[in-house]
Amino acid sequence: MQDLHAFKIMANRLSKIVTRTGDDGSTGLASGDRIAKDQTRVAVLGDVDELNSAIGMLLAEEVMPAGIRDALLGVQHDLFDLGGELSLPGHALISTAHLARIEELVTRFNAGLPPLKEFVLPGGTRCAALAHVARTICRRAERTLVALARQEELPPLQVQYLNRLSDLLFVLARSFNHSDNQTGGKGDVLWQQGRNRS
């Protein structure tokens, strides 16, 4: 009941955008607690929000396979679930079903890709480049979450979800480039070790 009450409070708060309550350098959690904006929990919330925004930028691309679009939209909902958990400590929204779905997506999209024999540079098509940006933000969110887990006990599925998600974003970046390669594009941009050494 407390969890539901907290989310109702948050929903009511959204009707008023300028609240001035954060002018003192604090922010409110869904639990009603106020904490400093430079605390690790707030940093994780910010990283997850930034990741969701980066995925939203990727989804703004007009040309994208429907399967990938649906997968990314699902991820955006997951990230709001994760943000809900972080904003309301003790409230569980991320489940093993979330992880299983991400793992299934990684397997599905990776199945159609050629074996990776070299490291790839972040780039290629615009969609692939945006997926790589989202992947690096996801890795940062994971690192910040691990830092928070050193300070207080967290559900282990949170870190596992972000770890799997970064794998999915890498595979999706390759999928975009592979799709482009099949239509005459260049495909993955491969790292050439020592290219500029001489």
Mean pLDDT, rounded, for 108-119? 89
Mean pLDDT, rounded, for 117-145? 94
Mean pLDDT, rounded, for 182-187? 64
125: left (phi over 0), alpha (psi -120 to 50) or beta: beta
CATH code, domain carrying 69: 1.20.1200.10
- In this prediction the pTM is 0.84
Instruction: Tell me the residue range of the domain where 159 lies.
Output: 39-184
What pLDDT does residue 142 have? 98
Percent of all residues in the chain with a pLDDT value above 70, rounded to a whole number: 79
CA–CA distance, 28 with 24 (Å, rounded to integer): 12
What pLDDT does residue 50 have? 98
Mean pLDDT, rounded, for 98-102? 98
Does any domain span residue 198?
no
pLDDT exceeds 60 at position 58: yes
The reply to whether 27 and 94 lie within a common domain is no
CA–CA distance, 14 with 89 (Å, rounded to integer): 20
* Residue 83 CA neighbour count, 13 Å, CB half: 19
CA–CA distance, 144 with 190 (Å, rounded to integer): 29
Number of domains comprising the chain: 2
